Amino acid sequence: MALKMVKGSIDRMFDKNLQDLVRGIRNHKEDEAKYISTCIDEIKQELKQDNIAVKANAVCKLTYLQMLGYDVSWAAFNIVEVMSSSKFTYKRIGYLAASQCFHEGTDVIMLTTNQIRKDLSSPNQYDTGVALTGLSCFVTPDLARDLANDIMTLMSHTKPFIRKKAVLIMYKVFLKYPESLRPAFPRLKEKLEDPDPGVQSAAVNVICELARRNPKNYLSLAPLFFKLMTSSTNNWVLIKIIKLFGALTPLEPRLGKKLIEPLTNLIHSTSAMSLLYECVNTVIAVLISLSSGMPNHSASIQLCVQKLRILIEDSDQNLKYLGLLAMSKILKTHPKSVQSHKDLILQCLDDKDESIRLRALDLLYGMVSKKNLMEIVKKLMLHMDKAEGTTYRDELLTKIIDICSQSNYQYITNFEWYISILVELTRLEGTRHGHLIASQMLDVAIRVKAIRGFAVAQMAMLLDNAHMLTGNTQRNGICEVLYAAAWICGEFSEHLKDPLQTLEAMLRPKVATLPGHIQAVYVQNVAKLFATVLRGQEGVPDRQVAQETSQLLIDRLPLFVQSANLEVQERASCILQLVKYVQKLQQKEVQVAEEVTALFAGELNPVAPKAQKKVPVPEGLDLDAWINEPPSESESEDEKPKAVFAQEEQRPTRPRHPEVDEKELARRREARKQEQANNPFYIKASPSSQKVYAETPGVEHIPVVQIDLSVPLKVPGMPMSDQYVKLEEERRQREKAERKKKKEKKRRKDKCGRGHRAESGGESEEDITPAHTVDIVTEEMPENALPSDEDDKDPSDPHKALDIDLDKPLVDNEKLPVRAHRPPDALKSPVEGGEGEGVAQEPKKKSKKDKKEKEKRKSKERKKSKEEKKKNKHGQERGEEPEAGSAEEPAAMAAAAEATTPPAVTTAEVSDLDFWLSSAPVPSNKKEAAVPVPEVVPDAAPVSEPDEPKDAELEEPKSSKHKKKKQKKEKEDRDKKKKKRHHRHHSDGGRAESVRNGEEEEEEEPLPPMSNYCLLAENPYIKMSYDIQGNLQDGSQVVVSVIFENKSSSSSFLKCMEFNVLDSLNSKLQRPEGASPHEAVTIPFQLPPGVSNEARFVFSVQSIVMPQKLKGTLAFIVKSEDSSTHEKLDFKLHFTCTSYMITTPCYSDAFAKLLESGDLKASSVRLEGVSMPFHHLLARICFHHHFSVVERIDSCASMYSRSIQGHHVCLLVKTVDQTVSIDAKCDEPSLLENVLQEIKQTFAKC
């Protein structure tokens, strides 16, 4: 045995480690694969050994091989083994390997759940950290569900290192297990105000990521983020927040208005380009959302454009790129402001950097006008010649087409020019966009009737020179153009000068090398051309030409009949037979042209792209209904399908009803036009109503001249579009002159009418008229087309599941699944009640309900009566206090308390937002004078409270909770004041209702209100109540929160309040630095009448095993209208042992270990006559004494808490008939004794 071990360790010495492996691979450059495969064999051997170090080493090497592209999933189980090693070194290797190669399909992942949970609760923070990091990469829905609660607990870990990781990973958990979002959200929100900047940044990160996908659910956080934005100095956080605001503003224009000013300030003040850029971006988003109605928004736009210009002009290419990127966003809404920087953008087109050129191209889209389109496109064509890479050239090509075809060819004045541009583009080598050019050709030829003659001539030429396009098989993309050319020539063959020649061109043997679908079009259109030729020859006495044509077809078509492509073959053989028949008739001297032409009679109109989709489903037609009864069912309902068809038929016949008179028709036409005008998807005829110019003399003959000019185009390969630029120039000049003439002559009235129409058509800045009759045929749409355009959201988008209303109160069963060791009685135990799956469906149903409720609330608000208010306030108080408790306790306790809590919180928040956003002047009262109103001072926190002692805030991790509480209090006060004058937004009206609602849903009766604040001292002027909490971060400190309430009857102010305590040896008040040991601490606020506020004081303590009392004095000045007096109030601060306890979660296994360890001393206490339900009892202990429930079985529960100095306190609470026995264990007997006494007192009181 021993020998074996020795042998093992010697073997180990010669194992390769990672470095050896890498070195080996580098030394075997020629046969790397072979070397690696031997290495993998070695690794497999190593993995078979028992020694965990060897395994870890092997796994480490596998991680490296994975990077090189080797699949290492076969070692997944070994990786799990290494992960579960107790040594940090190995654990880290295991988790790294897992994070690199585990994914949802890895089946061993389900074995890791318990290991990960153990690591998460490890006392070593780095074990926890490693587990979190690893988990973030391979979390699955199952892991997320099982571990959500553990991770949530870690969000309140004492170490910021863990907190920030736990916060970040929550995002991944939400994605995989959306049900966890709502229960975890309150805590996540709390982390926004975490004292550690890293944690804060992580929370911002997560919420921004969530809000980006479903912004509307996060609107209520806007005030909080606003506060962070104005207070934070961390650029990372600022950038994230500003980006978030960019996503929120489209939903809430008021928010935008509020943002403009601080953002503009930031733009002016910041030196960080990244921040500046994001600010500009968000300002742009704001301006887009506002669209209009901002008095000074042109100034903001100017500022943005200016700053962007600076970026673009910068020598740093990155800034240039970003500047152009942002510019393109402005372009969409404020094209004018961008257009003034045309020079700069055109300059960027020549940049050496392709990314920048592409961005500049994007901008070009908005730069064009009727005036400069030709010029810009000419420039782009030049670039096209120079462009080296195909990607950039393709991009140029699509951009040219985009620019020209945008808004229904709005900027094209001369379609001949455009057609020639398209023809020129066909000379592009190796483009992928042949089909794009083809579809443009088709589109223009079909929709612009006047251009058909010219287009057909050009297309005929293309067909003639088809070899140019197809000569090289590599240029396959471009031959798509022939598809369009063949179709156009065939369909509009009446415009062809020499159809016979084109016919010949289309029947060349080389055509057979084209792709099948193009050949098919060729064959079909050959037939059309044939018809045209026949008709052309009709009147001619000499039949030879017609007969020769037939013969030509009969000779050439067999080539296509043999085609491998079915479509081609079928069409060719059909047409071949037809031609043969025609030939027979021709020989009998029968006139056939008429009949053959009839085959292709009628015009094809363009159909709008989504026309089919938009045919409305006729009323009464159920598309999901069976047409035929499913076979198994009875035949009695056989009638149904018939009815379906009958109804369908009815519809189309109605419009064609013969009895409709002319007037009715006209009216309908008008109505349809109206509808079309309102339908954004209906492509309208160009507003410039070109028909007007049809009769204008001097315009009509120009195209004729140009067509003549285009004769030289027959020489292929010569650029031709250029000439149009010159011609267009001349034409415009001529037109101008003519118009002048016309004006002088002041012709007939209808001219005026026309002019009028042209204006109303929005002919805009230039009086450039299109060169010729351009009748853009509208695309056809079905009658009653549905205007809606369903956005097809990807149903598999994981973020969709996170679209959850977060303002809605949490309900009883909505909480994270807690691991249960023994199956608990679900009904009786609120602690472990709702397991994940059961909850799954819940939120959606409720959100609907909730919405309705909200509406109800709104209407109720108006009728709000005073009594109701009182009740509500009560409810609110009830609500807020348990909330404090529940936030502290990890999920376990939460459920019971939260059931009563949330309504107040959420409604308050919603109205908060409204209040925060409303720009209406706030009625001034003294309280609000003290609280800066954000409208006035933008950088003050919107729902801010007077500053608190800095030291207290720094040390106190839970400050946010207190703040919330206080805010509510303040609001209450405000409400009280305004009750008579104002019906404020605060939806108090709903509170009573929703509280009741909560009760209905709850199975167990709700908890009575609880508060830890107890009276400290009171006199006619002031009332002080206080609460003491242990400081999580510092084991020697406690924080005393004191609420001061001004009770004085008349309108007297309390000011210059000074708080002093006589320090004992054991406990000392922490005074500001430099203060003497007996100096009083000044309270940094004043109290207007009827107002309360909270201040926090930090005390350092040495021993915590005994309760203590400290005497103190509060000195203050009472200032009424005419007099001011000095007053004093003495008090005694009672530091109970409870106040040194910190709610700390504990797992039952850790708990059991603790009890077994034997270090703990036991003690017990009995409480008689306790009549409250068991869960209330537990809630009380949790709330008042800072315990957490470890496990609960029926009427027995184990609880745990920890003191600030790390003493463990364990309780076993049992209840039998009004008698509660508490067995307790603690490593510090006197502390335990005191805590038990305090618990006893708590229950004696009630």
Partner 1 sequence: MIKAILIFNNHGKPRLIRFYQYFAEDMQQQIIRETFHLVSKRDDNVCNFLEGGSLIGGSDYKLIYRHYATLYFVFCVDSSESELGILDLIQVFVETLDKCFENVCELDLIFHMDKVHYILQEVVMGGMVLETNMNEIVAQVDVQNRMEKSEGGLSAAPARAVSAVKNMNLPEIPRNINIGDINIKVPSLSPF
Residue ranges in 276-295 that form contacts with partner 1 under rule CB under 8 A: 277-278
- Pick 276 or 1017: Cβ nearer partner 1: 276
Which listed range, 50-58, 600-608, 685-693, 1188-1196, lies at the site for partner 1 (CB under 8 A)?
50-58
Per CB under 8 A, 198 contacts partner 1: yes
Per CB under 8 A, 53 contacts partner 1: yes
Q: Taking CB under 8 A as the criterion, which residues in 371-430 touch partner 1?
A: 391
Nearest distance in Å: CB 8, partner 1: 13
User: DSSP for 692-733?
Assistant: GGGG-TTTTTHHHHHHHHTGGGGSTT---HHHHHHHHHHHHH
- Pick 9 or 764: Cβ nearer partner 1: 9
Per CB under 8 A, 202 contacts partner 1: yes
- Pick 799 or 979: Cβ nearer partner 1: 799
Q: Where are the beta strands (DSSP E) in 1144-1218?
A: 1161-1167, 1188-1193, 1196-1203, 1208-1216
Nearest distance in Å: CB 1035, partner 1: 21
Q: What is the largest CA-CA distance in the chain?
A: 131
- Pick 132 or 523: Cβ nearer partner 1: 132
Per CB under 8 A, 472 contacts partner 1: no
Binding mask 150-179 for partner 1 (x = CB under 8 A): -----------x--xx--xx-xx-------
Per CB under 8 A, 1055 contacts partner 1: no
Q: Using CA atoms, how far apart are residues 292 and 422, in angstroms rounded to an integer?
A: 39
Residue of 319, 338, 1181, 1211 interacting with partner 1 (CB under 8 A): 319
Q: Using CA atoms, how far apart are residues 159 and 29, in angstroms rounded to an integer?
A: 47
Nearest distance in Å: CB 122, partner 1: 13
**Paired tokens of 156:** 């309140």
Nearest distance in Å: CB 80, partner 1: 18
Size of the site for partner 1 (CB under 8 A): 82
Per CB under 8 A, 64 contacts partner 1: yes
Per CB under 8 A, 1133 contacts partner 1: no
**Paired tokens of 979:** 């009750």
User: DSSP for 147-202?
Assistant: HHHHHHHHTT-SSHHHHHHHHHHHHHHHHH-GGGHHHHHHHHHHGGG-SSHHHHHH
Gyration radius of the chain over CA positions:
41
Q: Where are the beta strands (DSSP E) in 1120-1171?
A: 1124-1135, 1141-1142, 1161-1167
- Pick 204 or 785: Cβ nearer partner 1: 204
Q: Taking CB under 8 A as the criterion, which residues in 218-247 touch partner 1?
A: 234-236, 239, 243
Nearest distance in Å: CB 201, partner 1: 8
What's the number of CA atoms in the CB half-sphere (13 Å) around residue 1174? 21
Per CB under 8 A, 103 contacts partner 1: yes
Nearest distance in Å: CB 283, partner 1: 15
Which listed range, 93-101, 700-708, 1025-1033, 1142-1150, lies at the site for partner 1 (CB under 8 A)?
93-101
Long-range contacts of 1232-1235 (CB under 8 A, 24+ apart): 1232/1161, 1232/1163, 1233/1163, 1234/1105, 1234/1106, 1234/1107, 1234/1136, 1234/1137, 1235/1137, 1235/1138, 1235/1141, 1235/1185, 1235/1209
Residue of 163, 189, 257, 320 interacting with partner 1 (CB under 8 A): 320
Nearest distance in Å: CB 313, partner 1: 13
Per CB under 8 A, 66 contacts partner 1: yes
Q: Taking CB under 8 A as the criterion, which residues in 1019-1038 touch partner 1?
A: none
Residue of 42, 354, 928, 1149 interacting with partner 1 (CB under 8 A): 354
- Pick 109 or 482: Cβ nearer partner 1: 109
- Closest by CA to 956, choosing from 193, 249, 213, is 193
Which listed range, 114-122, 204-212, 457-465, 996-1004, lies at the site for partner 1 (CB under 8 A)?
204-212
- Closest by CA to 1079, choosing from 1092, 1091, 1089, 1069, is 1069
Strand partners, 1054: 1087, 1118
Cβ 901 vs Cβ 877: under 8 Å: no
- Pick 142 or 353: Cβ nearer partner 1: 353
Q: Using CA atoms, how far apart are residues 84 and 94, in angstroms rounded to an integer?
A: 8
- Pick 212 or 684: Cβ nearer partner 1: 212
**Paired tokens of 516:** 């099948």
Per CB under 8 A, 322 contacts partner 1: yes
Per CB under 8 A, 318 contacts partner 1: yes
Per CB under 8 A, 92 contacts partner 1: yes
Which listed range, 99-107, 614-622, 998-1006, 1195-1203, lies at the site for partner 1 (CB under 8 A)?
99-107
C-alpha torsion 879→967→1187→1193, nearest 10: 30
Q: Which residues contact 1117 (CB under 8 A, 6 or more apart)?
A: 1054, 1055, 1056, 1124, 1125, 1126, 1127
Per CB under 8 A, 88 contacts partner 1: yes
Which listed range, 200-208, 339-347, 768-776, 807-815, lies at the site for partner 1 (CB under 8 A)?
200-208
- Phi/psi of residue 484, each to 5°? -65, -45
Cβ 489 vs Cβ 496: under 8 Å: yes
Q: Taking CB under 8 A as the criterion, which residues in 251-280 touch partner 1?
A: 271-274, 277-278
Q: Which residues contact 650 (CB under 8 A, 6 or more apart)?
A: 618
- Closest by CA to 183, choosing from 160, 155, 157, 162, is 155
User: By CB neighbour count within 10 A (0-12 exposed, 13-18 middle, 19+ buried), where does 916 fall?
Assistant: buried
Strand partners, 857: none
Across 426-448, b (16+ Cβ under 10 Å) vs e yields: bbbeebebbebbbbbbbebbbbb
- Pick 97 or 403: Cβ nearer partner 1: 97
- Pick 23 or 849: Cβ nearer partner 1: 23
- Pick 274 or 587: Cβ nearer partner 1: 274
Sheet of strand 1124-1135: strand arrangement: 1081-1082, 1053-1061, 1108-1119, 1124-1135
Per CB under 8 A, 353 contacts partner 1: yes
Q: Using CA atoms, how far apart are residues 57 and 94, in angstroms rounded to an integer?
A: 10
- Pick 87 or 950: Cβ nearer partner 1: 87
Binding mask 12-41 for partner 1 (x = CB under 8 A): xxxx-xxxx-xx--xx--------------
Per CB under 8 A, 67 contacts partner 1: yes
Q: How many other C-beta atoms can be found within 10 angstroms of the C-beta atom of residue 545?
A: 14
- Pick 247 or 899: Cβ nearer partner 1: 247
Q: Which residues contact 892 (CB under 8 A, 6 or more apart)?
A: 818, 831, 832, 1145, 1188, 1189
- Pick 359 or 815: Cβ nearer partner 1: 359
Which listed range, 133-141, 257-265, 631-639, 863-871, lies at the site for partner 1 (CB under 8 A)?
133-141
Nearest distance in Å: CB 50, partner 1: 16
Q: How many other C-beta atoms can be found within 10 angstroms of the C-beta atom of residue 591?
A: 10
- Closest by CA to 95, choosing from 80, 73, 111, is 80
Residue of 47, 358, 529, 897 interacting with partner 1 (CB under 8 A): 358
Q: Taking CB under 8 A as the criterion, which residues in 111-130 touch partner 1?
A: 126, 129
Nearest distance in Å: CB 913, partner 1: 23
Per CB under 8 A, 132 contacts partner 1: yes
Nearest distance in Å: CB 246, partner 1: 10
Strand partners, 1093: 1044
Nearest distance in Å: CB 1151, partner 1: 27
Q: Using CA atoms, how far apart are residues 1131 and 455, in angstroms rounded to an integer?
A: 98
Per CB under 8 A, 89 contacts partner 1: yes
Residue of 93, 331, 692, 1039 interacting with partner 1 (CB under 8 A): 93
